[in-house]
């Protein structure tokens, strides 16, 4: 993969091209979720489930409550020292969820890869967005992750509107931080959301597979670091290579081992 990683919806063969999510207009500009925000004040945003509940319990409860449809969003790659953080957003009917879907961390690489085309085929809409190492270094990893999730959600909203499908009543965000509220549906944060929500689990798989594919491709551009094996995480192999070879342009500024490697390089000049 050459050049800077795009900060936009990606267009790889098995993750079909999706429009850039930035400033989509349409529903957001029309104030579509004014009623939703009032509903949120009545408790729509509160996580009313058990953190250890089974996958799909969140959707089942929301359907019973009449809060449907929903979008789920998640990210992959907050911990690595190298490369992008990737986020995905998915709207999917529970009945259409592929067999074997779960939190991406509980699946093998082969299982995740097998699920990707099934998720893409069964989802009402999906998007995958990357925030590159420059953005991470400039904004910090948390803000970059939330930015990527926001852009993925906005891309899904644009697709739904273009298809004439019903707008979401709620946005399910993995973790404990909401994303930007400007022009978005009410949000509910879900700790362990990728193990509890079908939509969030689907997003976690798409984000994880996309990021892993990018790191495998980048291994050829930056040989010697072992990126295809550890995917940029701070393993002993990666830390040793960072000390021996020094940092690259895609190592993340603001991460202690990377900053130390840059300092070492400057001291040796």
Q: What domains sit in the chain, N to C, each tagged with a CATH number?
A: 34-219 (3.30.420.10), 224-268 (no CATH)
What span, in angstroms and rounded, lies between the C-alpha atoms of 177 and 216? 30
Q: Render pLDDT for 33-42 as a digit per residue (tens, 0 to 9).
A: 555 555 554 5
Q: Which of 2-11, 71-80, 105-114, 228-237 has the lowest mean pLDDT?
A: 2-11
User: Across the strands, what pairs with 89?
Assistant: 73, 127
Strand 70-76 with 170-174, pairing:
parallel
* Terminal C-alpha separation, the chain: 30
In this predicted structure, what is the pLDDT of residue 137?
A: 97
Asked if the model's pLDDT at residue 188 lies above 50, the reply is yes
The angle, 0 to 180 degrees and rounded to 10, between the axes of the packed helices 109-122 and 198-221 is: 120
CA distances from 49 to 55, 102, 155, 197, 251 (A): 12, 18, 28, 11, 38
In this predicted structure, what is the pLDDT of residue 33?
A: 57
For all residues of the chain together, what is the average pLDDT? 88
Q: Which of 17-21, 167-171, 178-182, 230-234 has the lowest mean pLDDT?
A: 17-21
pLDDT-derived band at 31, boundaries 50, 70, 90: low
In this predicted structure, what is the pLDDT of residue 49?
A: 80
Q: 43 CB contacts (<8 Å, ≥6 apart)?
A: none
Q: Which of 7-11, 167-171, 251-255 has the lowest mean pLDDT?
A: 7-11
In this predicted structure, what is the pLDDT of residue 107?
A: 97
Q: Render pLDDT for 116-134 as a digit per residue (tens, 0 to 9).
A: 999 999 999 999 999 999 9
CA distances from 261 to 6, 48, 224, 246 (A): 25, 45, 15, 6
């Amino acid at each position: 993969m050459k050049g800077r990683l795009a900060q936009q919806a990606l267009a790889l063969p098995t993750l079909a091209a999706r429009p850039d999510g930035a400033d989509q207009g349409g529903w957001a500009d029309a104030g579509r979720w004014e009623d939703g925000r009032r509903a949120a004040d009545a408790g729509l945003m509160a996580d009313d489930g058990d953190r250890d509940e089974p996958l799909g319990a969140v959707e089942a409860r929301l359907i019973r409550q009449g809060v449907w449809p929903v979008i789920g969003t998640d990210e992959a790659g907050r911990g690595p020292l190298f490369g992008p953080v990737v986020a995905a957003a998915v709207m999917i009917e529970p009945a259409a969820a592929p067999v074997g879907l779960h939190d991406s961390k509980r699946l093998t690489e082969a299982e995740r890869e097998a699920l990707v085309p099934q998720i893409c085929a069964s989802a009402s809409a999906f998007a995958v967005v990357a925030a590159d190492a420059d953005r991470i270094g400039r904004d910090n990893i948390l803000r970059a992750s939330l930015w990527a999730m926001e852009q993925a959600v906005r891309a899904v909203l644009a697709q739904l509107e273009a298809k004439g499908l019903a707008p979401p009543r709620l946005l399910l965000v993995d973790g404990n931080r909401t994303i930007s509220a400007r022009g978005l549906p009410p949000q509910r944060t879900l700790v362990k959301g990728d193990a509890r929500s079908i939509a969030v689990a689907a997003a976690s798989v798409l984000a994880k597979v996309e990021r892993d594919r990018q790191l495998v491709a980048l291994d050829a551009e930056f040989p010697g670091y072992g990126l295809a094996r550890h995917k940029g995480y701070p393993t002993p192999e990666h830390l040793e290579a960072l000390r021996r070879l020094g940092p690259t342009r895609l190592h993340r500024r603001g991460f202690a081992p990377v900053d130390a490697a840059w300092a070492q390089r400057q001291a040796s000049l």
